[in-house]
């Protein structure tokens, strides 16, 4: 079933001066998902978000937000969206409470102190509500930007590099907030170059490079399709060469025969060549090991491969 | 039309005024008082009456206009320039609000502040010279129209400016000279005929003349000319702002 909350069709953006930031971007964001947009610096992540949110005029193409054209029906489209920008931009002398309340008014909603209170509490900003923004730490300012974006109860939240420059603890807290939002039905689109973040959070992943969407895939599918696993056995006795019974492409020797490395991707199990079969073969050949280590390729490895491939 | 965003912008701008009360209100009042002391009392006592009005009283409308123009332009230009400079304008551009609502919020706040300031200066001048307002309705009309028009101009300058230096450029190089040469401190009858002709090209002359007429019933140009000029200027500013928002000039890449 197609239940896209954002539909991007044939989007092109060429800035004055000729730099093409987006090239024929087609993308659908499903209602209620967490979508991570991955890409190196300058790939077009922020431009894509900016076009959807109305900060940048597209050169060509169309964006539908919940069925509303983001230019022709900008009111309906924009009131559904909350945007947390990458840069920490704030009215330095405002208080937290005032700036968040201001955002709600700006988005055309009647004042609702109870909602502002719950947003500030969920972001651990309640104690700081009367502080001026200039007195807050970077991480706190980031939370204020999130609070501003949530002040008008958006159905879609864009987080542009939400955890850049944020310490590990705060990052985990933010992930928690994002998950709670998703549980309440908010669709979340985040850009990041912390791949760990996408791996941890996202339901689907889109990779953008040089203004083009290179790939969009369910995270687990992506990792099982493109990822691989390695099992390393530390042998008791080094081997000169592999016995003929074990001579297959997935197996190799390293560390001067002290280590036997088995590379697999999950399909071998189905063919009956998986780890149990390997262990049986080893026993039959009289090869023993003292320790083992497994490693799974991360999204980062996949990402680096993808971007390198297309460059 | 949604009034919540207009109110939000208006209130935020007025809050900024309250935070910066000293620059916003007190300093223009002090500088106007200085004009009264120097021009009105010290020099004015040696200048004969103009059209039966003492010189001190004669300059009151011009001084209010001077402050009204410069403050409207600087308030409104700073109001929109600052979010552009700090980057927080992203929120304004991504909000579900129309251009008209944005302009109403920012220009409304800047104009309110100028009008308030004009009235404070008017009251202050009462300490120095006997006050007389012949046509209070027209006085308020000119006050409001001028404040709105020049706040619109300031809004345009704020969007156009790409740095603080440019923000100062237009008020300093255009508004102040035009006001000084616009008959704030003299009647244009006092000029040689050639310069009288040149002066008529200065739009501020029409504002000061109309405003002074509302006080004392004397004017350099006809009331109709004053009203038409200010409406033309208002229309030109509105058209420019309409174009800015349609094209995204200096706002949206």
| Residues B247 and A10: beta-carbon distance below 8 Å | no
Q: What is the span of the domain harbouring residue B8?
A: 3-34+60-247
To probe the interface with A, which of B6, B24, B90 has the most A CB atoms within 10 Å?
A: B90
Chain A contact for B95 (CB, 8 A cutoff):
yes
**Overall average pLDDT of the B173-201 stretch:** 86
Q: Kindly give the pairing relationship between strand A187-192 and strand A81-84.
A: unpaired
In this structure, is residue B136 part of a structural domain? yes
Average pLDDT score, chain B: 89
Which one is the CATH code of A1-80+186-226: 3.40.50.1700, 3.40.50.300, 3.20.20.450, 2.30.30.100?
3.40.50.300
To probe the interface with A, which of B15, B88, B99 has the most A CB atoms within 10 Å?
A: B88
- Number of compact structural domains in chain B: 1
Check A78 against B95: CB less than 8 A apart: yes
Nearest residue in B to A92, CA atom: B86
**Overall average pLDDT of the A197-224 stretch:** 86
Q: How many CB atoms lie within 10 A of CB B209?
A: 26
At a CB cut-off of 8 Å and minimum separation 6, what does B39 contact?
B55, B56, B59, B185
Choose among A56, A94, A107: nearest Cβ to B95: A107
Task: Report the CATH architecture of A228-310.
Answer: 2-Layer Sandwich (3.30)
In this predicted structure, what is the pLDDT of residue B165?
87
Choose among A57, A94, A104: nearest Cβ to B252: A57
Check A105 against B248: CB less than 8 A apart: no
The alpha carbon of residue A83 is apart from the nearest alpha carbon of chain B, in Å, by 8
pLDDT surpassing 80 at residue B232:
yes
In this predicted structure, what is the pLDDT of residue B38?
84
HSE, CB side, 13 Å, CA atoms: give it for residue A16: 7
Check B86 against A107: CB less than 8 A apart: no
pLDDT surpassing 50 at residue B57:
yes
Place of tokens 């090209």: B201
In this predicted structure, what is the pLDDT of residue A1?
47
Q: Name chain A contacts of B252, Cβ cutoff 8 Å.
A: 54-57
pLDDT surpassing 70 at residue B166:
yes
Strand-pair partners of A209: A212
Let me know if A23 is exposed, middle or buried by CB neighbors in 10 A (0-12, 13-18, 19+).
middle
Q: Which two tokens stand for residue B135?
A: 């046509």
Check B96 against A92: CB less than 8 A apart: no
Q: Where in chain A is the domain with CATH 3.40.50.300?
A: 1-80+186-226
Q: What is the Cα–Cα distance from A104 to B69, expressed in whole angstroms?
A: 33
At a CB cut-off of 8 Å and minimum separation 6, what does B88 contact?
A89, A90, A91
Q: What is the Cα–Cα distance from B66 to B71, expressed in whole angstroms?
A: 8
H/E run at residue A7: strand A4-14
pLDDT surpassing 70 at residue A2:
no
Condensed to tens digits (0 to 9), the pLDDT of residues A300-310 reads: 777 777 777 66
Nearest residue in A to B15, CA atom: A94
Q: What is the Cα–Cα distance from B115 to A245, expressed in whole angstroms?
A: 94
Helix, strand, or coil (residue A72)? coil
Query: How many A-B residue pairs are in contact by the CB < 8 A criterion?
Result: 85
Residue A150: left (phi > 0), alpha (psi -120 to 50), or beta? alpha
Check A89 against B87: CB less than 8 A apart: yes
In this structure, is residue B220 part of a structural domain? yes
pLDDT-derived band of residue A215, with 50, 70 and 90 as boundaries?
confident
Question: For A250-303, what is the HEC assignment?
Answer: CEEEECCCCEEEEEECCHHHHHCCCHHHHHHHHHHHCCCEEEEEEEECCHHHHH
pLDDT-derived band of residue A246, with 50, 70 and 90 as boundaries?
confident
pLDDT surpassing 50 at residue A7:
yes
Chain A contact for B249 (CB, 8 A cutoff):
no
Average pLDDT score, chain A: 87
Nearest residue in B to A87, CA atom: B87
**Closest among A91, A93, A92, A58 to A72, alpha carbons compared:** A58
To probe the interface with B, which of A71, A106, A116 has the most B CB atoms within 10 Å?
A: A106
Condensed to tens digits (0 to 9), the pLDDT of residues A248-276 reads: 788 888 888 889 888 887 666 556 667 88
Going from the C-alpha of A25 to that of each of A101, A165, A191, A209, B246, the distances in angstroms are: 35, 29, 16, 11, 25
In this structure, is residue B223 part of a structural domain? yes
Q: Kindly give the pairing relationship between strand A204-209 and strand A212-218.
A: antiparallel
In this structure, is residue B80 part of a structural domain? yes
| Residues A36 and A196: beta-carbon distance below 8 Å | no
Does the complex come out with an ipTM higher than 0.85? Answer: yes
Let me know if A22 is exposed, middle or buried by CB neighbors in 10 A (0-12, 13-18, 19+).
buried
Check B5 against A93: CB less than 8 A apart: no
């Amino acid at each position: 079933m197609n239940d896209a909350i954002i539909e991007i069709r044939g989007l092109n953006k060429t800035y004055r001066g000729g730099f093409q930031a987006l090239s024929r971007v087609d993308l659908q964001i499903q209602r209620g998902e967490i979508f991570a947009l991955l890409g190196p610096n300058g790939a077009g992540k922020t431009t894509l978000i900016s076009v959807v949110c109305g900060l940048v005029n597209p050169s060509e193409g169309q964006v539908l937000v919940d069925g509303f054209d983001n230019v022709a029906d900008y009111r309906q489209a924009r009131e559904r969206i909350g945007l947390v920008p990458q840069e920490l931009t704030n009215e330095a002398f405002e208080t937290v409470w005032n700036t968040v309340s201001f955002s709600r008014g700006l988005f055309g909603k009647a004042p609702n102190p109870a909602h502002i209170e719950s947003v500030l509490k969920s972001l651990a900003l309640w104690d700081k509500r009367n502080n001026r923004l200039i007195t807050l730490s970077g991480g706190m300012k980031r939370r204020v930007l999130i609070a501003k974006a949530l002040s008008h109860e958006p159905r879609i939240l864009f987080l542009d590099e939400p955890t850049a420059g944020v310490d590990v603890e705060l990052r985990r807290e933010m992930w928690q907030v994002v998950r709670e939002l998703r549980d309440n039905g908010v669709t979340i689109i985040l850009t990041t170059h912390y791949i760990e973040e996408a791996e941890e959070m996202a339901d689907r992943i889109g990779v953008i490079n040089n203004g083009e969407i290179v790939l969009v895939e369910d995270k687990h599918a992506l990792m099982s399709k493109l990822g691989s696993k390695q099992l390393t056995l530390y042998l008791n006795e080094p081997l000169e060469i592999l016995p003929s019974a074990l001579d297959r492409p997935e197996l190799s020797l390293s560390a001067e025969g002290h280590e036997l490395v088995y590379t697999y991707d999950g399909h071998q199990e189905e063919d009956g060549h998986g780890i149990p079969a390997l262990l049986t073969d080893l026993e039959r050949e009289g090869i023993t090991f003292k320790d083992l280590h497994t490693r799974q390729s991360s999204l980062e490895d996949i990402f680096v491969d993808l971007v390198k491939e297309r460059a | 039309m949604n009034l919540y965003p207009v109110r939000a912008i208006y209130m935020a701008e007025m809050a900024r005024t309250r935070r910066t009360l000293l620059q916003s209100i007190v300093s223009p009042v002090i500088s106007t008082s200085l004009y009264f002391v120097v021009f009105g009392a010290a020099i004015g006592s040696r200048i004969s009456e103009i059209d039966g009005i003492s010189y001190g009283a004669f300059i009151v409308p011009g001084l209010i206009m001077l402050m009204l123009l410069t403050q409207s332009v600087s308030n409104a230009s700073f109001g929109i320039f600052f979010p552009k400079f700090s980057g927080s304008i992203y929120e304004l551009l991504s909000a579900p609000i129309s251009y008209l609502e944005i302009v109403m919020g920012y220009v409304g706040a800047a104009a309110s502040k100028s009008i308030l300031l004009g009235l404070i200066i008017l009251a202050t001048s009462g300490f120095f010279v006997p006050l007389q307002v012949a046509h209070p309705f027209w006085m308020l009309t000119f006050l409001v129209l001028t404040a709105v028009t020049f706040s619109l101009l300031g809004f345009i300058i704020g969007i156009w400016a790409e740095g603080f230096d440019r923000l100062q450029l237009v008020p300093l190089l255009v508004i102040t000279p035009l006001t000084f040469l616009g008959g704030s401190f003299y009647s244009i009858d006092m000029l040689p005929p050639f310069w009288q002709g040149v002066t008529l090209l200065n739009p501020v002359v029409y504002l000061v003349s109309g405003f002074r007429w509302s006080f004392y019933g004397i004017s350099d140009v006809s009331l109709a000319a004053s009203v038409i000029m200010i409406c033309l200027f208002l229309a030109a500013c509105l058209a420019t702002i309409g174009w800015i928002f349609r094209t995204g000039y200096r706002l949206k890449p």
